Amino acid sequence: MAQFSRRKILAAMTMGWGWQLRPDRWFTLPAAFGQPAGLRQRIPANLMKRTTRQAVDRALAYLASRQNEDGSFGVGAYRRNVAVGGLAGMAFLANGSTPGRGRYGQHVSRCVQFILSHAQESGFINAGAMNTHGPMYGHGFATLLLAEVYGMSPDSQIREVLSKAVKLIVSIQNEDGGWRYQPQRRDADISVTICQVMALRAARNAGLYVPNEVIDRCTDYVKRSQNADGGFMYMTAGGESAFPRSAAGIVALYSAGIYDSDEVHKGLAYLRKNVPKIDAFGTATHYFYGHYYAVQAMWHAGGDHWQQWYPRIHDELLANQQQNGSWTDMVCSEYATAMACLILQMPNNYLPIFQR
């Protein structure tokens, strides 16, 4: 039987994403897409060095110690923020834990329960007044976590909440094809849009229906957001390219099933030319956000893109890890630490949304 990569398998599925199975090709799929013991395309283990694993172990231990009693994460203005919670949960999943299983299984369960408890009847996931920092970011990251968890451990309660969360995203897509800070059909920006399209892709991977036209409009929006230099503008009204949103733009195209196009190649070239300087840690705007998407872009691009990129960001992160295992950022240390863990653990290839 011919061998199929996860990307080809997902591209062949017909869950409303516009791809068709060829009748002359047959293959089997694992019952749970994200199960660590299931379908993986492992890469050489030496990419995850002993020092890397030690750094991640310290970071995850720190993150676990910062979980609040109600399962939430975050402090200060980001206290109980569902975006931070979603990312923290993803960091544990990327290490091989699932709800109730693994070293951080209980932490994942509590994180998921916190998110489920803040899902409104409309489908909107938000923890209330404390979350004034672009609530659709929170909704997107929370939905992404639920989709990944559901793909690993199917659960009727998660599916119900996830289904409503997906329908909300679909219903508020604006006429340009994107999304913005609030759950309303108004303007759009590339940064919030990538959060939603990744959530939709993860949900589709887990078996939920996403209409073709939603992804078609989103794809057109992302392509219109690209500048001549290969980078991406914040809004289609115009503006210069920047590293964080350009990384997000490429991953948005990947999430829509576009892996080999002029837009992707130009975007990757832009990232390679405009990588933040080695001393950018602590000074660059949206440092972790940018590298979170950039490492995904390079991982899927593979080859020289990945081989040149990962060691650089790996070394930079390890050099800036705090003694207590955390990383720092103006958002909060829980956010920074979760992002750093996701970046460093990319070679684990556990999360379905990241798998090649």
Question: For 35-65, what is each residue's pLDDT tens digit?
Answer: 333 333 444 545 678 999 999 999 999 999 9
Closest CA to 169 of 119, 238, 232: 119
Cβ–Cβ under 8 Å, residues 213 and 221: no
Residue 71 pLDDT > 90: yes
Residue 29 pLDDT > 60: no
Using alpha carbons, list the distances in angstroms from residue 64 to 82, 158, 263, 334.
16, 22, 39, 10
Q: Name the 3-class secondary structure at 2.
A: coil
Q: Where are the alpha helices (DSSP H) in 206-302?
A: 212-224, 243-255, 262-273, 287-301
**Distance between start and end Cα atoms, the chain:** 20
327: tokens are 């990383």
Cβ–Cβ under 8 Å, residues 304 and 291: no
| Average pLDDT of the segment spanning 217-233 | 98
pLDDT digits (tens, 9 = 90+) for 201-219: 999 999 999 999 999 999 9
Residue 268 pLDDT > 50: yes
The count of other CB atoms within 10 Å of the CB of residue 2 is 7
* Mean per-residue pLDDT over the chain, rounded: 87
What global pTM score does this model have? 0.88
CB half-sphere exposure, 224, CA atoms < 13 A: 16
Residue 27: pLDDT band (50, 70, 90) is very low
Tell me the backbone φ, ψ of residue 235, rounded to 5 degrees. -135, 150
Tell me the backbone φ, ψ of residue 111, rounded to 5 degrees. -65, -45
CATH number of 50-349: 1.50.10.20
Closest CA to 172 of 129, 135, 208, 144: 135
pLDDT at residue 280 in the model: 65
* Helix and strand totals (H; E) in the chain: 13, 0
Q: Name the 3-class secondary structure at 125.
A: strand
| Average pLDDT of the segment spanning 7-28 | 35
Cβ–Cβ under 8 Å, residues 76 and 132: no
Residue 124 pLDDT > 60: yes
Q: How far apart are CA 12 and CA 22, in angstroms?
A: 8
| Average pLDDT of the segment spanning 110-138 | 89
pLDDT at residue 283 in the model: 64
User: H/E/C letters for each residue in 156-189?
Assistant: HHHHHHHHHHHHHHHHCCCCCCCECCCCCCCCCE
Q: How far apart are CA 121 and CA 70, in angstroms?
A: 20
Closest CA to 92 of 154, 148, 160, 30: 148
Least confident of 78-92, 270-284, 293-307: 270-284
Q: How far apart are CA 215 and CA 17, in angstroms?
A: 7
Using alpha carbons, list the distances in angstroms from residue 248 to 24, 27, 113, 178, 291.
36, 32, 28, 13, 9
Who wins on pLDDT, 282 or 174?
Answer: 174
Cβ–Cβ under 8 Å, residues 90 and 133: no
Q: Name the 3-class secondary structure at 83.
A: helix
Who's near 160: CB < 8 A, 6+ residues apart? Answer: none
